[in-house]
């Protein structure tokens, strides 16, 4: 570990504050460090390892594809990409998909598509996109602009123009912006993840859908973190009364390989024409094979199980000593504690449980198939650490 730590500090750009742990392998929800210590991993690589580490079915899907070919280009047809797109459309009712490599890229693609659609149907001056204060949409200059948190903008100005921010759960604040700007779309996360695991109010989301319809605005939902079963439905919007025009996802989609997907509804499915957008690695066959194995397993039984585990965590922690509140949906949860999030995270890690933060909260994102036994063990550790 010490050698790796030195190499990392010397050669890796300093963007990350790492925990003092070097993960060398894992199995399911168990991660093992360079000293052979086992942890129950409730972070899942920040909602990426949908079925945990080194999942057998996932390994088989990936290795079978690598043996055939690992990359071609988007100049040729390839089966994994087409099959995954079909599967995603069947799970969501959306009509077409663009594949990229990350959440930020999926959102870039959505933003370009929304502007293109508005330019073609209403005029190019209709380019403003309304997002929400406290949102997080990525780290590129445009997705930072979409992100409604000043702290992420500082010293990176000027950002891409044309983003305005409404207060979450305040429909009047959205209405005001709609009346002041020539808008193309509204864009939001239904559970603000990086913003502190805050689900939007159901009534607000319903009103957002109605407002968008009445004003001819596209509804763009960022399901980068909430998608792929994380909230107990295939997508978080299935817990709400809203019909999206564009849905983005990434993180858990390929269960540990990089992928981004932008899903288009019927109205916008043909917005892109050849040459308007693209990606060298987007639709990579290995990543798509991994994603097919993940998406095929997100069925009603698994989703019911996610809800059961979620209920268990809520019940176990809601009134626990040192816990002020618990927010979130499914297996995407934020715990506000008497201690600082850092103290709880460090305390849990020392006792063999990996959790992370979201603003001032402790965030839990366990693999969707975590065993009840290990979930219970991990929750007991969290309770113990919170009360001390
Ligand atoms: C809601 C949301 N959108 C976009 C992103 C950016 O995704 P990526 O880091 O894959 O670019 C994230 C990452 O945390 C996210 O949570």
Spatial distance between the Cα atoms of 198 and 176, rounded to a whole number of angstroms: 23
pLDDT exceeds 90 at position 388? no
Read off the pLDDT of residues 214-225 as tens digits, 9 standing for 90 and up.
Answer: 999 999 999 999
Read off the pLDDT of residues 275-284 as tens digits, 9 standing for 90 and up.
Answer: 999 999 999 9
Ligand 1 close to Cβ of residue 108 (< 6 A): no
Mean pLDDT, all residues of the chain? 98
Dist. CA 225 → ligand 1 center (Å): 7
pTM for this prediction: 0.98
Q: Within the chain, where are the H helices?
A: 2-11, 44-47, 56-68, 79-92, 103-121, 141-146, 150-153, 171-180, 202-214, 285-297, 300-318, 341-350, 372-387
Read off the pLDDT of residues 365-385 as tens digits, 9 standing for 90 and up.
Answer: 999 999 999 999 999 999 999
Ligand 1 close to Cβ of residue 103 (< 6 A): yes
Read off the pLDDT of residues 69-97 as tens digits, 9 standing for 90 and up.
Answer: 999 999 999 999 999 999 999 999 999 99
Dist. CA 35 → ligand 1 center (Å): 31
Ligand 1 close to Cβ of residue 136 (< 6 A): yes
Read off the pLDDT of residues 252-275 as tens digits, 9 standing for 90 and up.
Answer: 999 999 999 999 999 999 999 999
Dist. CA 331 → ligand 1 center (Å): 17
Half-sphere exposure of 381 (CA within 13 A, CB side): 23
pLDDT at 161: 98
Spatial distance between the Cα atoms of 257 and 142, rounded to a whole number of angstroms: 24
Ranges for all domains in the chain classified under CATH 3.40.640.10: 58-297
Tokens at 344, concatenated: 């709880």
At the second CATH level, the architecture of 2-54+300-387 is Alpha-Beta Complex (3.90)
Question: What average pLDDT does range 320-346 have in this prediction?
Answer: 98
Ranges for all domains in the chain classified under CATH 3.90.1150.10: 2-54+300-387
- pLDDT category, 2, cuts 50, 70, 90? confident
* Shortest-distance Cα residue to atom 16 of ligand 1: 225
Ramachandran category for residue 333: left, alpha or beta (phi over 0 → left; psi -120 to 50 → alpha)? beta
At the second CATH level, the architecture of 58-297 is 3-Layer(aba) Sandwich (3.40)
Dist. CA 255 → ligand 1 center (Å): 15
């Amino acid at each position: 570990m010490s050698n790796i730590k030195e190499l990392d500090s010397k050669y890796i750009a300093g963007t990350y504050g790492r925990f003092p742990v070097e993960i060398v392998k894992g199995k399911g929800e168990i991660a093992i460090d360079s000293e052979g210590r086992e942890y129950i991993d409730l972070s899942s690589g920040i909602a990426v390892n949908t079925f945990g580490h080194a999942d057998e079915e996932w390994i088989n899907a990936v290795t079978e594809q690598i043996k055939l070919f690992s990359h071609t280009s988007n100049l040729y047809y390839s089966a994994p990409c087409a099959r995954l797109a079909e599967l995603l459309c069947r799970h969501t009712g959306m009509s077409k998909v663009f594949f990229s490599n990350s959440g930020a890229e999926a959102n870039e693609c959505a933003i370009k598509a929304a502007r293109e659609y508005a330019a073609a149907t209403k005029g190019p001056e209709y380019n403003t996109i309304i997002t929400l204060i406290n949102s997080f949409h990525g780290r590129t200059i445009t997705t930072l602009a979409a992100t409604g948190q000043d702290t992420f903008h500082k010293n990176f100005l000027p950002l891409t123009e044309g983003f305005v921010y409404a207060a979450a759960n305040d429909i009047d604040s959205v209405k005001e912006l709609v009346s002041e700007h020539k808008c193309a779309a509204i864009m939001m996360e239904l559970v603000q993840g990086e913003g502190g695991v805050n689900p939007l109010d159901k009534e607000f989301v319903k009103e957002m859908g109605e407002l968008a319809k009445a004003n001819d605005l596209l509804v763009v939902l960022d399901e980068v973190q909430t998608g792929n079963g994380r909230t107990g439905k295939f997508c978080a919007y299935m817990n709400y009364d809203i019909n999206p025009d564009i849905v983005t996802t990434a993180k858990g989609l390929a269960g540990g390989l990089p992928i981004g997907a932008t899903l288009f509804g019927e109205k916008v499915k043909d917005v892109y024409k050849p040459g308007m957008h693209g990606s060298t690695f987007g639709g990579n066959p290995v990543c798509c094979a991994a994603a097919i194995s993940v998406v095929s397993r997100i069925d009603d039984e698994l989703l019911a199980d996610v809800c059961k585990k979620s209920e268990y965590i809520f019940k176990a922690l809601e009134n626990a000593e040192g816990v002020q509140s618990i927010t979130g949906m499914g297996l995407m949860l934020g715990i506000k504690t008497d201690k600082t999030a850092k103290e709880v995270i460090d305390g849990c890690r020392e006792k063999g449980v990996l959790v992370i933060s979201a603003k001032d909260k402790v965030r839990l994102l366990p693999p969707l198939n975590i065993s009840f036994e290990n979930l219970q063990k991990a929750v007991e550790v969290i309770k113990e650490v919170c009360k001390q």
